[in-house]
Chains A and B, each alone.
Chain A
Amino acid sequence: MSHAKPQPRYDVSVMLTGDRAQIDQVEGDIIARLEQFAYAKASRFAVKLSVEEAVANAFNHGHKNLPPGVPVRLEYAVAPDEVRIAVEDQGPGFVPADVPDPTMDENIEQPSGRGIMLIRAYMTRVAFSGSGNRIEMTYKKPAPKA
């Protein structure tokens, strides 16, 4: 008898077209849910930044050679203790380990290449799947300070 690894479940799935107003709306919906569950300002900042970077990477890199309007799927679930977000593009994918460390002296003046490291810095868990065209991010709400 085999036990399939349970897949993370998401409450909401949205197809983003790249329209800025739609991205703002979805980010606003996610942040509103965080506010409902009393996530602190720092947590809301972390999640908004990570969503922003993941979506920007999907369109700017994943869909670089695809026609405009090809949608990116964004899924999310907000619970009292954690937020899960997945962003999946329809591009060819990439190897995350091949992305140069933007904090190294030789890369520090490069104007791009900081999105993934910021996501890793702010989110509790980050995983890529498929050909690298899907990123799954989890943010755990920090324990209240004593």
Chain B
Amino acid sequence: MAQADSRLRVRRQDNITLVEFIDRNILDEANIQSIGEEITQLVDAEGAPKLLISFANVDHLSSAALGTLITIRNKVRDKHGQLRLANIDPQIYEVFVITRLHKMFSIHETTDEAAKSFE
């Protein structure tokens, strides 16, 4: 369940937790921190989480947001869970490529494709 002041939309679909961002810009450090904490709670609530993060509404994100994604990825991995990213704008995807993070994350064009990719 999303928190009252959440920057996220969260829903459960089968065994998958789907997270979408409300903000178009994920730049504000305080927001990024609270997003990280909220997703961490979702990860901690599951045994082996299947987490799907959609960037459908996102136009801009900062390197601080990338850092939070890495931290989330490591927490999911530590719990033997799976993380998928989807609906990333081509310009933001280029940021993943420049930083080589596209190799670290499982990135899919759509949430449907991402959902089907879970093992």
Q: Is A67 an interface residue (CB 8 A)?
A: no
Is the C-beta of B106 less than 8 angstroms from some C-beta in chain A?
no
Interface extent on A, as a size class? 20 to 34
Whether the pair A118, B98 counts as a contact (CB closer than 8 A) is yes
Contacts of A118 in B (CB 8 A): 63, 95, 98-99
A117 and B104: CB pair below 8 A?
A: no
Cα A108 to Cα B67 with chains together (Å): 10
Residue in A closest to B95 when the chains form the complex, CB atoms: A118
Q: Does B64 lie within 8 Å of A112, measured CB to CB?
A: yes
A96–B44 CA distance with the chains assembled, in angstroms: 37
- Contact between chains at A111 and B99 (CB < 8 Å): no
Instruction: Determine the distance from Cα of A72 to Cα of B70 in the docked complex, in whole angstroms.
Output: 28
Question: Which chain A residue lies CB-closest to B59?
Answer: A45
* Distance of B1 from chain A, by nearest CB (Å): 27
B-side binding surface: helix, strand, loop or mixed?
helix
Q: Any chain B CB within 8 A of the CB of A14?
A: no
Q: Which residues between 57 and 102 of chain A lie within 8 Å of chain B, taking CB atoms?
A: 60, 102
Give the dominant DSSP class at A's interface.
helix
Q: Which residues of B contact A115 (CB under 8 A)?
A: 62-63
Q: Chain A residues near B101 (CB, 8 Å)? A: 108
Q: Does B22 contact A (CB under 8 A)?
A: no
Interface mask (B56-76 → A, CB under 8 Å = 1, otherwise 0): 000010111011101100100
Nearest residue (CB) in A for B61 is A49
Are B98 and A117 touching (Cβ within 8 A)?
yes
Which stretch in B6-14, B25-33, B80-88, B108-116 binds the other chain? B25-33
Listed in ascending order, the chain B residues whose CB lies under 8 Å from chain A are 27-30, 60, 62-64, 66-68, 70-71, 74, 91, 95, 98-101, 103-104
A interface residues with partner B (beta carbon < 8 Å): 20, 41-42, 45, 48-49, 52-53, 56, 60, 102-103, 108-112, 114-115, 117-118, 121
